[in-house]
Amino acid sequence: MAGERLIYMPLGGAGEIGMNAYVYGHGAPGKERLILVDLGVAFPDMDTAPGADVILPDLDWLIQRKDRLEAIFITHAHEDHIGALPHLWPMLKKPIYARKFTAAIARLKFEESGLATDLIRVVEPRPRTVEVGPFKVQFVPVAHSIPESAALVIDTAAGRIVHSGDFKVDETPIVGEPWSDQVMSEIAAERPVKAFMCDSTNVFNSHAGRSESILAAPLGKLIEDAGGMIVATTFASNVARLKTLAEAGRAAGREICLLGRAMKRMVAAAEQTGVLTGFPRNLPPEEALDVPRRHLMLIVTGSQGERRAAAAALSRGKYLGFELKEGDTFLFSSKTIPGNEKDVLRLVNAYSEMGVDVVDEQGGLYHVSGHANRPDLERAHQLLLPDMVIPMHGEHRHLREHVKVAHEAGIAAMIATNGTMLNLTGDVPEVCDRIEAGRVYLDGTVLVGAMDGVIRDRIRMALNGQVTVTVLLDENDQPLGEAWVETMGLTDLGRGGRSLTETLERDLTELIEGAPRKLLKDDDKLDEALKKVARQVTMEEIGKKPEVTVVISRLTVE
Amino acid sequence: MAGERLIYMPLGGAGEIGMNAYVYGHGAPGKERLILVDLGVAFPDMDTAPGADVILPDLDWLIQRKDRLEAIFITHAHEDHIGALPHLWPMLKKPIYARKFTAAIARLKFEESGLATDLIRVVEPRPRTVEVGPFKVQFVPVAHSIPESAALVIDTAAGRIVHSGDFKVDETPIVGEPWSDQVMSEIAAERPVKAFMCDSTNVFNSHAGRSESILAAPLGKLIEDAGGMIVATTFASNVARLKTLAEAGRAAGREICLLGRAMKRMVAAAEQTGVLTGFPRNLPPEEALDVPRRHLMLIVTGSQGERRAAAAALSRGKYLGFELKEGDTFLFSSKTIPGNEKDVLRLVNAYSEMGVDVVDEQGGLYHVSGHANRPDLERAHQLLLPDMVIPMHGEHRHLREHVKVAHEAGIAAMIATNGTMLNLTGDVPEVCDRIEAGRVYLDGTVLVGAMDGVIRDRIRMALNGQVTVTVLLDENDQPLGEAWVETMGLTDLGRGGRSLTETLERDLTELIEGAPRKLLKDDDKLDEALKKVARQVTMEEIGKKPEVTVVISRLTVE
């Protein structure tokens, strides 16, 4: 219809890997009906968000327009695509569409959070079509590192969009549906593809992707050759890998035992939804403890060095009765995600101290990625023949490289980072708006804005330490006793071996005792003066500029 | 002499990469005369030591025995071998022996710290021998990624030790002396080598090491082909690389400009000591600004993403008048040290946003390591034919693998991590003592023990936030007014939208108003009770368990 437009705006996932959240809209400008694709989390670190539990996309824009939001579509059950649902869905309360396995995981999350699950709706794959407002949406099975990952075909009056989700070109994925050139060609033949929003994670890898199925032989040989107990770790949601590992273990005459809540939960959900069949026999931990170690294989959570997972627990000593020792083998059937290197190496060194042989993925021998490499991306572009490629699911460097890949094939392409709204109505994408798209932190049980200073103050206390200054003033604004100082995260040993606290108290007492009444009457100015001196003295004594809390107590006539 | 022994004990560097510090001793047990080899730092991170400046080895053991310490030998001028000198030498005050370039860097550091430099002594290489106590020490030039790296030949009555320092097998190192098989063979022929303390950094790399000289051609081609400005970064101390980069730039008709204090300082020291000659013409920044960008090449500090270095400054925008833009090329002629990935990727994404083409080391095309790979280690073992190999300069996993390498060649070997004292007198190493070997932090201007709680408190505040509670009691231990609460690093939005601070104040006031006199009289118990309630309430309101500072002010009759 004339005057209507088709828009796209990432609120998360375009400019980082993590917290995917993509908005599509169709309708009159400013009145578009909207859908949201994925609602994931990212994981905080000490450098940028100490103490935060997870990072969520800032949905302010969408929440303000939730009357225009038709539904939420979840492509697959990885945390960076589904993890924010229990935290942010209560502010949206719209139907959630997902395939069976994904919906099962969503339901578990909702139940844990005490949320009603009646708006979680299971969708069969294409040709089944969900109609919501001006959108017709189909789930297209693609291969990935979790069962039932889906690309979305999103049809509107303004044209057809394909949203890749996370995918790889794998025609033998062990569990779940294979990648199909034919299906992609059919999608393009059925109706020309206007825009292809495409996963960019592996754009820098110039080799064609490798199938999950090639791992069985090398894993089998490794396990066959190992002497003591074998402990293997991989991503809990990589059900195909779990199966390959377990089958290799069984083939080598070992009993299998899964350790780690996330892993058992994933396998159970995959079996219950019928996605996973024929998973080898595995023993509960209490039975596995009786198996001689050369006949035992543990498959455990914690491939990224997560401190609460089973792999880390085993690195600290006994865990559920299991204990690694000389002659055992620990296998990382996984890749270290950038940023997790130190945590993973901490495990490796701990195992080394126990005399355990640690085997990493050996440059791909024991692990394959779940994402499409550059030649696979080119292949997908060629099959879908879109008018334009809009890269998503990547840091800026990935998006930029992906645009280059499209341009080299003569396809229009544009980087749209979080908060960039594109108008896709014409032949080429056009930026039509930019909003402030940020992140919020789940911190304990509350949401904290990334820019509101709470996390910044925690970082500052970590870097600089903290000083609390208390002064007590009487009804006439005169000091009652001396200034009182407590420090936290600072050494008390100042210059010449004297106490930092005592020096601070002496100098701050001097300040209040010599201060003019005008200063003592004015809370703000007195606070400022005390802070300044507290910082100066701490700097002189120990070379740190601490965060200072000043408490001024005034006795008032009752 | 009968009853004497030869001992070795790492105080840093064996069990981590960084803060190298190795003690050798010879004499009657418990009365050995000692030397220290290297005194380096490691670099802290937010996870383990937020706010600390550098990590230093804990020298308590050595300081208590400093009357037995003859001298300090520094193998080369990398921070992990020399960086702790200005901080810890004042507690030792013994002569420092080093080669000319290393000594020049040590002198610069001492001058900056206001320390006397008269005990820093320049030593010519082998056959020149330094005699201190029962030790005769020679500096043997080896190739590394900094000029004048040296292995040490340490002779005692109990036998000859070779301490490798950091080295690589490079017969064409561009700057400085090449690795020499012949020299190593001569050392072993002259006198049998009892023990070889050997660098383990690259033990997991199974390819023979590659020479610095192979980089000239690919770097030349890259620079030749680039369009706009080129900015290259590498380790400031890698003077050979700086020369190769600068020569490649000049050959491509570009003017060269060095940015970053550390880099200019290293080049100046290398030229002044005669280590570096023929470094190409380079312009000061103010002149380089006038050069058209296609004729300009900047060589900058900050290859690890360090926030204060030139590379990071350029990623944030204009720096000294220079600004990167579309069409420029940024080259990492360096490898990312594990743990620095996020910092480096932050730069890469920032450059990507500017439209700059970022080129990394391309799997070794534009960078070679300064350490010996596994085949090189085997070669060194074979040339020196030691009775035993004691791996050093590595995490536990490196040391363990290095022991395996030695064992496969039939050489006795043992892991000795920090604080493990080995008796080397016999044919095989024997553990003869274990001491607490830890780390201390330079935090501002003071040294802080890793275990004394200061850093732990800072980490806790970063994770949990901080609450200050103030209560005021009169002469009769009765509350004067209400409890007063300040929070830092916590959101104030509690359950149902109410103020966390107000809820805390209400509940804490209730506590003190209803408290029995016995509790109000007892500072410790009252402190404990207030803390407990403050934590509970904060947990209920926002799901965090904060660090709490309680200040109890008591009015006393004057």
Cβ neighbours for A468, distance < 8 A, ≥ 6 positions apart: A485, A486, A487, A488, A548, A549, A550, A551, B468, B486, B549, B551
Are the C-beta atoms of B169 and B134 separated by less than 8 Å?
no
Q: Alpha helices, DSSP H only, in A37-180?
A: 60-64, 79-82, 85-88, 100-112
Cβ neighbours of B452 in A, within 8 Å: 491
A518-547 tens-digit pLDDT: 999 999 999 999 999 999 999 999 999 999
Instruction: Looking at the complex, report in whole angstroms how far the Cα of residue A15 sits from the nearest Cα belonging to chain B.
Output: 8
Paired residues of A412 in beta bridges = A388
Are the C-beta atoms of B357 and B329 separated by less than 8 Å?
yes
Give CA B79 to chain center in angstroms: 6
Instruction: Looking at the complex, report in whole angstroms how far the Cα of residue B552 sits from the nearest Cα belonging to chain A.
Output: 10
Cβ neighbours for A65, distance < 8 A, ≥ 6 positions apart: A34
Type and span of the H or E element at B8:
strand B5-12
CA distance B32 to B44: 33
Q: Which of A440-454, B26-40, B83-97, B396-410 has the lowest mean pLDDT?
A: A440-454
Cβ neighbours for B354, distance < 8 A, ≥ 6 positions apart: B324, B325, B326, B328
* Contact flag B491-A448 (C-beta cutoff 8 Å): yes
* Contact flag B551-A486 (C-beta cutoff 8 Å): yes
Of residues B358, B488, B544, nearest to A444 (C-beta) = B544
Instruction: Looking at the complex, report in whole angstroms how far the Cα of residue A159 sits from the nearest Cα belonging to chain B.
Output: 30
Phi, psi of A451 (to 5 degrees): -105, 5
Pair of tokens at residue B78: 């990398």
Of residues B458, B470, B481, nearest to A462 (C-beta) = B458
* Contact flag B542-A443 (C-beta cutoff 8 Å): yes
Q: Name the E strands within B92-240.
A: 96-98, 120-122, 130-132, 135-141, 150-156, 159-163, 193-199, 230-233
Higher pLDDT, A471 or A557: A471
**pTM for this entry:** 0.95
* Contact flag A445-B543 (C-beta cutoff 8 Å): yes
- Residue A166: name the closest of A377, A10, A388, A385 by CA: A377
Cβ neighbours of A543 in B, within 8 Å: 443-446
Cβ neighbours of A465 in B, within 8 Å: 51, 454, 457-458
* Contact flag B446-A542 (C-beta cutoff 8 Å): yes
Nearest-5° Cα angle at A441, A436 to A447: 95
Nearest chain A residue to B474 by CA distance is: A555
Omega before residue B127 within 30° of 0, cis: yes
Phi, psi of B37 (to 5 degrees): -110, 115
Cβ neighbours for B8, distance < 8 A, ≥ 6 positions apart: B22, B23, B24, B25, B161, B195, B197, B390, B416, B421, B422, B424, B429
Pair of tokens at residue A340: 């997790």
* Contact flag B459-A463 (C-beta cutoff 8 Å): no
Nearest chain A residue to B205 by CA distance is: A362
CA distance A529 to A552: 12
A262-301 tens-digit pLDDT: 999 999 999 999 999 999 999 999 999 999 999 999 999 9
Of residues A50, A445, A448, nearest to B462 (C-beta) = A50
Calculate mean pLDDT across residues B349-376. Answer: 97
Pair of tokens at residue B201: 């950094």
CA distance A431 to A414: 9
**CA atoms in the 13 A half-sphere facing the CB of A493:** 12
- Residue B384: name the closest of B203, B206, B171, B189 by CA: B189
CA distance A527 to A246: 64
Residue in the structure block whose two tokens are 């169709």: A26
- Residue B95: name the closest of B134, B56, B123 by CA: B123
Domains of chain A: 5-207+369-449 (3.60.15.10), 212-364 (3.40.50.10710), 465-554 (3.10.20.580)
Helix then strand count (H, E) for chain A reads 17, 28
The CA–CA distances, whole Å, from B483 to A469, B499, B507 equal 16, 15, 9
* Contact flag A543-B46 (C-beta cutoff 8 Å): no
Residue B558 pLDDT greater than 60, yes or no: no
* Contact flag B542-A445 (C-beta cutoff 8 Å): yes
pLDDT for the residue numbered A399: 98
CB pairs under 8 A between A and B: 196
Cβ neighbours of A463 in B, within 8 Å: 50-51, 458
A215-262 tens-digit pLDDT: 999 999 999 999 999 999 999 999 999 999 999 999 999 999 999 999
Calculate mean pLDDT across residues B262-274. Answer: 96
CA distance A425 to A423: 6
- Residue A6: name the closest of A23, A26, A22 by CA: A26
Of residues B339, B397, B549, nearest to A488 (C-beta) = B549
Omega before residue A375 within 30° of 0, cis: no
* Contact flag A457-B547 (C-beta cutoff 8 Å): no
CA distance A329 to A232: 8
* Test mutation, A468, A503, A504, chain B, max B CBs within 10 A: A468
Pair of tokens at residue B125: 């290489």
Question: Residue A419: which region, alpha, beta or left (left: phi > 0; alpha: psi -120 to 50)?
Answer: left
pLDDT, averaged across chain B: 96
- Residue B366: name the closest of B330, B339, B337 by CA: B330
pLDDT for the residue numbered B358: 97
CA torsion through residues A96, A101, A102, A107, sign:
positive
CA distance A462 to A241: 40
Paired residues of B9 in beta bridges = B23
Residue B451 pLDDT greater than 90, yes or no: no
* Test mutation, A315, A329, A352, A401, chain B, max B CBs within 10 A: A352
Instruction: Looking at the complex, report in whole angstroms how far the Cα of residue A251 sits from the nearest Cα belonging to chain B.
Output: 30
Calculate mean pLDDT across residues A404-421. Answer: 98
Residue A401 pLDDT greater than 70, yes or no: yes
Q: Which of A28-37, A386-395, A405-414, B450-459 has the lowest mean pLDDT?
A: B450-459
* Contact flag A395-B50 (C-beta cutoff 8 Å): no
Residue A10 pLDDT greater than 70, yes or no: yes
Cβ neighbours of B419 in A, within 8 Å: none
* Contact flag A556-B45 (C-beta cutoff 8 Å): no
* Per-residue b or e along A390-426, where b marks 16 or more CB atoms closer than 10 Å to that residue's CB: bbbbbbbbbbbbbbebbeeeebbbbbbbbbbbbbbbe
CA distance B97 to B39: 12
B182 burial type by CB count under 10 A (0-12 exposed, 13-18 middle, 19+ buried):
exposed
* Contact flag A553-B444 (C-beta cutoff 8 Å): no
- Residue B527: name the closest of B511, B544, B510 by CA: B511
Residue A2 pLDDT greater than 90, yes or no: no
Phi, psi of B503 (to 5 degrees): -65, -45
pLDDT for the residue numbered B409: 97
* Contact flag A341-B345 (C-beta cutoff 8 Å): no
Cβ neighbours for A256, distance < 8 A, ≥ 6 positions apart: A246, A249, A250, A280, A281, A282, A283, A297, A299
B472-505 tens-digit pLDDT: 999 999 999 999 999 999 999 999 889 999 999 9
Cβ neighbours of B544 in A, within 8 Å: 51, 443-444
Cβ neighbours of A489 in B, within 8 Å: 51, 454-455, 457-458, 461
pLDDT for the residue numbered B496: 86
Instruction: Looking at the complex, report in whole angstroms how far the Cα of residue B401 sits from the nearest Cα belonging to chain A.
Output: 9
Residue in the structure block whose two tokens are 């990727």: B345
Angle between helices B216-225 and B239-251 (to 10 degrees): 40
* Per-residue b or e along A117-141, where b marks 16 or more CB atoms closer than 10 Å to that residue's CB: eebbebbeebeeebebbbbebbbbb
The predicted complex's ipTM stands at: 0.94
Could you tell me the pLDDT band of residue B557, with boundaries at 50, 70 and 90?
Answer: low
B109-162 tens-digit pLDDT: 999 999 999 999 999 999 999 999 999 999 999 999 999 999 999 999 999 999
CA distance A111 to B275: 69
* Contact flag B463-A489 (C-beta cutoff 8 Å): no
Residue A557 pLDDT greater than 70, yes or no: no
Instruction: Looking at the complex, report in whole angstroms how far the Cα of residue B445 sits from the nearest Cα belonging to chain A.
Output: 5
- What percentage of chain B reaches a pLDDT higher than 70? 99
Phi, psi of A554 (to 5 degrees): -115, 130
* Contact flag A461-B458 (C-beta cutoff 8 Å): yes
Residue B1 pLDDT greater than 80, yes or no: no
Of residues B51, B488, B542, nearest to A446 (C-beta) = B542
CA distance A495 to A497: 5
Nearest chain B residue to A205 by CA distance is: B362
Length of chain B: 558
Give the CA diameter of chain A: 87
B400 burial type by CB count under 10 A (0-12 exposed, 13-18 middle, 19+ buried):
buried
What is the 8-class DSSP label of residue B157? T
Of residues B400, B457, B465, nearest to A489 (C-beta) = B457
Instruction: Looking at the complex, report in whole angstroms how far the Cα of residue B341 sits from the nearest Cα belonging to chain A.
Output: 6
Are the C-beta atoms of A110 and A13 separated by less than 8 Å?
no
Instruction: Looking at the complex, report in whole angstroms how far the Cα of residue A5 sits from the nearest Cα belonging to chain B.
Output: 28
Cβ neighbours of A542 in B, within 8 Å: 443-446
